[in-house]
Amino acid sequence: MTRLPALHIGYPKTATTTLQDALFLRHSQIVALGKPWRDEDETDWLVQFHLTDSLEFDAARAREGYVRHLASRGDDGKAIVVSVELFTLPHHADRGLIARRLREAIGPATILVCIREQLDYLPSLYRQQLGKHATPASFQAWLEASWHDQVHGYLHFLEYHKLVRLYRDLFGAEHVHVLLFEELKADQDAFARRVCRAIAVDPEEGARLLHGQHIHPGRSAREIAYNMLRRRLLPGARLRAIAPPPLRAAFLRVLRGGPKYRIEIPPALVGPLRARYRAGNRVLLEDFGVPVDRYGYAL
């Protein structure tokens, strides 16, 4: 069977690590490239897409690295899946530029993009930032600071229709599959089968592999508190540099235990946020056929 390579571009915080580790890496009919990184050769050609300056980008070099790395893996006719959530992450590079570079260097491909209802996504995204980056004192301050900031903010990042439209224009509407994080939560097996059918591999094997898997669940309250304290008192310290692996592993198990860090959208911002995303979500539903109406997306 001749298959198009598949590009799984994110979004972050939509079970990307679970898909990478539990499904793409383990499926017998898939050759997985991208995260988790395995060697410098792999990262060298992949970073061409999202880190190289436009004046230096060489599509032929990126293509050569892709082909060379694929050959080294011995694909044997298997499906190729390149999974890199950085392709959709803001602040790393121009996401539209990345899409055009992928089309130029990789050529025709199947696109997998997983999205998540915006008012559920934002608390998860903020929780990830706590303790890792400089953040405002409160969730509300972070949201308000992001409202009109298209350079450092995050709200525009979740206007999914813009990115989906571009990939449909570049790769063809029939090759762009928009997956819903909510579908994964509702029926993990059905979600796995849909992913596998999109990339033309055995859906039943995929369902068995993904069943019951949940890698990197949300950060615990203990982990958030520790990260924030460490950033204030020892901003340059790295636990892995000072603690032996067994001690570090035990400490991390304690940190990640206990209740998840809970955070909710401030009531005063629920209406404005839903209004912000309503028009774009309607494009997903009415123009692209994505069933966001089933999962509480603003419409």
Q: Which pLDDT value is given to residue 1?
A: 47
Residues 203 and 236 both lie in one domain: no
β-pairing verdict for 79-83 and 30-34: parallel
Q: Which residue has the higher pLDDT, 133 or 275?
A: 275
Residues 100 and 166 both lie in one domain: yes
38 pLDDT band, cuts 50/70/90, is: low
Place of tokens 């970073």: 47
Residues 102 and 48 both lie in one domain: yes
Residue 129 lies in a domain: no
Evaluate whether 224 touches 243 at the Cβ level (below 8 Å). Answer: no
Residue 299 lies in a domain: no
Tokens encoding 238: 């790295």
Residue 169 lies in a domain: yes
CA 101, 104, 105, 111 dihedral sign is positive
Q: Which pLDDT value is given to residue 222?
A: 73
Evaluate whether 195 touches 27 at the Cβ level (below 8 Å). Answer: no
Mean pLDDT of 37-45: 66
Evaluate whether 112 touches 14 at the Cβ level (below 8 Å). Answer: no
Residues 207 and 226 both lie in one domain: no
Calculate the alpha carbon distances from 268 to 7, 125, 135, 137, 140 in Å.
38, 19, 20, 17, 9
Residues 108 and 249 both lie in one domain: no
Q: Which residue has the higher pLDDT, 59 or 176?
A: 176
Partners of 5 in beta bridges? none
122 pLDDT band, cuts 50/70/90, is: very high
Residues 17 and 56 both lie in one domain: yes
β-pairing verdict for 176-180 and 6-8: unpaired
Q: Which pLDDT value is given to residue 132?
A: 63
- Kindly report the pTM of this predicted structure: 0.87
* Residues 211-263: tens digit of each pLDDT: 988 866 666 667 667 776 776 766 666 766 677 888 777 777 777 777 777 78
Residue 271 lies in a domain: no
Tokens encoding 9: 């571009």
Tokens encoding 286: 């009415």
Partners of 7 in beta bridges? 82, 111
42 pLDDT band, cuts 50/70/90, is: low
Percent with pLDDT over 90 in the chain: 51
Residues 233 and 285 both lie in one domain: no
Q: Which of 297, 13, 15, 291 is nearest to 159 (CA)?
A: 297
Residue 203 lies in a domain: yes
CATH number of the domain that residue 29 is part of: 3.40.50.300
Residues 230 and 244 both lie in one domain: yes
Residues 206 and 69 both lie in one domain: yes
Residue 147 lies in a domain: no
Residues 47 and 170 both lie in one domain: yes
295 pLDDT band, cuts 50/70/90, is: very high
Tally the domains of the chain. 2
Q: Which pLDDT value is given to residue 153?
A: 84
If you average pLDDT over every residue of the chain, what do you get? Answer: 87
Tokens encoding 122: 């934002």
Which residue range is the domain that position 63 belongs to? 6-118+158-216+277-294
Q: Which pLDDT value is given to residue 293?
A: 97
Residue 167: CB partners within 8 Å, gap ≥ 6? 9, 99, 111, 113, 176
* Residues 260-278: tens digit of each pLDDT: 777 899 999 999 999 999 9
Which of 28-32, 92-96, 200-204, 268-272 is least confident?
92-96
Residue 70 lies in a domain: yes
In this predicted structure, the answer to whether residue 115 has a pLDDT above a threshold of 90 is yes
Q: Which residue has the higher pLDDT, 85 or 130?
A: 85
Residue 5: CB partners within 8 Å, gap ≥ 6? 79, 80, 81, 82, 106, 109, 110
Residue 231 lies in a domain: yes
Residues 99 and 175 both lie in one domain: yes
Helix, strand or coil, per DSSP, at residue 83: strand
